[in-house]
Amino acid sequence: MEPSTSTSSAPSSTQFLRKHILKLAPYTPIEPFEVLSSRYNRKPEDIIKLDANENPYGPPPEVREALATMPFPHIYPDPETRALRRALAEMHNIPMENLLVGCGADELIDLLMRCVLEPGDKIVDCPPTFTMYVFDADVNDARVVTVPRLDGFRIDVEAVKRAVVEHKPKVVFLTSPNNPDGSMISEADLVSILDLPVLVVLDEAYIEFSTEASRMHWVLQRHNLIVLRTFSKSAALAGLRVGYGAFPIGMMEYMWRAKQPYNVSVAAEVAACAALTNMNYLNTVRDALVSERERLFARLKEIPFLEPYPSHANFILAKVTNGRDAKAVKDALATQHGIMVRHYAKKELSGFIRVSVGRPEHTDKLIEALKQL
């Protein structure tokens, strides 16, 4: 007997959803080569993708070899990612007991919020910055206290202090180098915020491209600090989703309890471990990207309608000036030249584009295209 198709008395499926989810704004992700190829009628290899801060050189050859020969893809992964955590502990000189691996650092941000925030609890966000903090706060029914950055994208430390006193948030999110502008938080500013009665999350997704050292080891002395890192950028494993973080030891038992048991796939752990066996390659690629970043910055300054900002990351933010529209520039690069750059709908970045650092030939084609606009 076929089920009834009458809907006169049937409940709406949306009535079962949590009320705050009904108001959730969607995240706008960057699209892959296959989608871009179809949209712009270009072969994937003819598209220059400079919109997602991906590493154009790809991972070390050991990664492909390891993925091709991994022995147990049919067995569930190690729920504790022990092989990778041991390798990371040795590399960073941090006990593996302080380390947690996730399906990208994004998963760890969401996991942390689920462990720390009750519905209605508050976080401090310092835009413009990585938008996943606000997205995950919304998903977890938290409230966001916004402390805009100062000129030059500096953290407004005094405003953060006032926000902590007034709103009593549980977490302050900081990104260094900051996405989308590539600026660093100073040690003095970080210490000032760490002295507040809040949990501080320092996202170092791009730290490999900076001349400044990671503060990951601070976690061993600062029990209100979490430092996040990723394999997506410097190790070019964005498609395999591997991130990790150093957490205060007192939190670890509870993070383990709440973590999805098999959150990191066999392929992801195998790839990350393989990448760490060839640090010479990773360092060589990093140096090439840093060198190209400086060349890209100089070339962008040649464009009369762009004002690029100095960056410690593998991307450069540029203000679009002289009456030009930033989205129009982004669209023209895509449709006319097959070059993808990032444009933001957020009001504080509506007049900017962000350009990932590519290979030298990518820079040359980008500058040539910009000069034609």
On whether both 203 and 294 belong to a single domain, the answer is: no
The sign one gets for the Cα dihedral 235, 333, 153, 312 is: positive
Residue 6 resides in a domain: no
Q: How confident is the model at residue 34 (pLDDT cuts 50, 70, 90)?
A: confident
Secondary structure of 78-137 in HEC code, one letter for each residue: CCCCHHHHHHHHHHHCCCHHHEEEECHHHHHHHHHHHHHCCCCCEEEECCCCCCHHHHHH
State the pLDDT at residue 344: 86
- Choose the final residue of a domain: 264, 279, 294: 279
Residue 11 resides in a domain: no
Q: Judge whether residue 127 has pLDDT over 70.
A: yes
Q: Judge whether residue 249 has pLDDT over 70.
A: yes
What residues make up the domain containing 244?
61-279
Q: What is the dihedral of CA 136, 26, 56, 354, to 10 degrees?
A: -100
Q: How confident is the model at residue 38 (pLDDT cuts 50, 70, 90)?
A: confident
Residue 3 resides in a domain: no
On whether both 269 and 293 belong to a single domain, the answer is: no
Q: Judge whether residue 9 has pLDDT over 60.
A: yes
On whether both 24 and 65 belong to a single domain, the answer is: no
| Structural tokens at position 263 | 């959150």
Average pLDDT for 260-289:
98
On whether both 305 and 275 belong to a single domain, the answer is: no
Q: What is the CATH number of the domain that holds 365?
A: 3.90.1150.10
State the pLDDT at residue 104: 95
- Choose the final residue of a domain: 279, 311, 332: 279
State the pLDDT at residue 347: 82
Is the separation of the CB atoms in 209 and 293 below 8 Å? yes
180/128 Cα distance (integer angstroms):
7
The CA-CA-CA angle for residues 233, 270, 71, to 5°, reads 155
Residue 113 exposed, middle or buried by CB count within 10 Å (0-12, 13-18, 19+) = buried
